[in-house]
């Protein structure tokens, strides 16, 4: 049981380090170096790397080593497509099941996110964004669905994190979108809730061209090809 807990800890920490570019795309990693960084044994590190391979966050080249994968925009686009379809229905169901305590929980998260924006705390802003969405799933008993989405969202999340680092990201507008979604849920307005949710998720991939250009070393060749096609 302890080993399972250590493996989960190793996986979560390594995934976050990859998402937030503490381990940059293309970086070579090894069990020994990760053991030192995380202060954990080789077994949980090895098992977590297996999980990360399943999420296509790392890959191994025989006789060479294990590397952090580059960001794949095709995967990010597919994840956005699935999330739009799933989360719009999650929010519609939430509108029918929202209680006063659940409303207070979600509003509290949004208030903390606004505070993080005011304090220019990007990490807290990002984490609270995920916390808001995950709790929407959890409130209606769909936490496992969020876990599945979380796995699918790996490359989408990496793009989101890079976007937060740019001058083009509008923190205030994103926080306002969350508030508008919650307001529509509170009113029980399912059509408005669905529209706002789809719109919010769709614009996660705003400014692709600028971000791929600025961080070209972080993206796959297919991702760069997408940008070239968009440029004609």
* CATH number corresponding to 2-68: 1.10.10.10
* DSSP code, position 205: G
Phi, psi (5° rounding) for residue 59? -145, 160
**pLDDT digits (tens), the chain, 232 positions:** 344 588 889 999 999 999 999 999 999 999 999 999 999 998 999 999 999 999 999 999 998 999 999 999 999 999 999 999 999 999 999 999 999 999 999 999 999 999 999 998 999 999 999 999 999 999 999 999 999 999 999 999 999 999 999 887 888 889 999 999 999 999 999 999 999 999 999 999 988 888 998 999 999 998 888 777 765 5
d(CA 8, CA 197): 31
Segments making up each domain of the chain, as ranges: 2-68, 73-225
Query: 10 Å Cβ neighbour count for 145?
Result: 16
* CATH number corresponding to 73-225: 1.20.120.530
| Residue whose pair of structure tokens reads 């994190």 in the numeric block | 161
């Amino acid at each position: 049981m302890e080993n399972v807990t250590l493996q989960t800890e190793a996986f979560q920490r390594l995934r976050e380090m990859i998402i937030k570019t503490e381990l940059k795309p293309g970086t070579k990693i090894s069990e020994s170096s990760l053991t030192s960084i995380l202060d954990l044994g080789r077994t949980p590190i090895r098992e977590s790397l297996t999980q990360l391979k399943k999420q296509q966050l790392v890959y191994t080249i025989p006789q060479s080593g294990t590397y952090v994968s580059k960001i794949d925009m095709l995967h990010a686009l597919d994840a956005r497509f699935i999330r739009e379809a799933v989360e719009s229905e999650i929010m519609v169901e939430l509108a029918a099941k929202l209680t006063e305590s659940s409303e207070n929980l979600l509003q509290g998260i949004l208030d903390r996110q606004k505070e993080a924006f005011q304090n220019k705390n990007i990490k807290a802003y990002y984490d609270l964004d995920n916390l808001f969405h995950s709790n929407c799933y959890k409130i209606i008993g769909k936490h496992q669905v969020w876990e599945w989405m979380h796995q699918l969202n790996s490359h989408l999340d990496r793009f989101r994190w890079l976007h937060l680092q740019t001058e083009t990201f509008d923190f205030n507008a994103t926080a306002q979108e969350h508030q508008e979604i919650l307001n529509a849920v509170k009113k029980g307005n399912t059509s408005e809730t669905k529209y706002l949710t789809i719109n919010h998720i769709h614009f996660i991939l705003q400014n692709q061209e600028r971000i791929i250009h600025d961080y070209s070393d972080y993206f796959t060749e297919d991702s760069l090809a997408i940008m070239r096609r968009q440029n004609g």
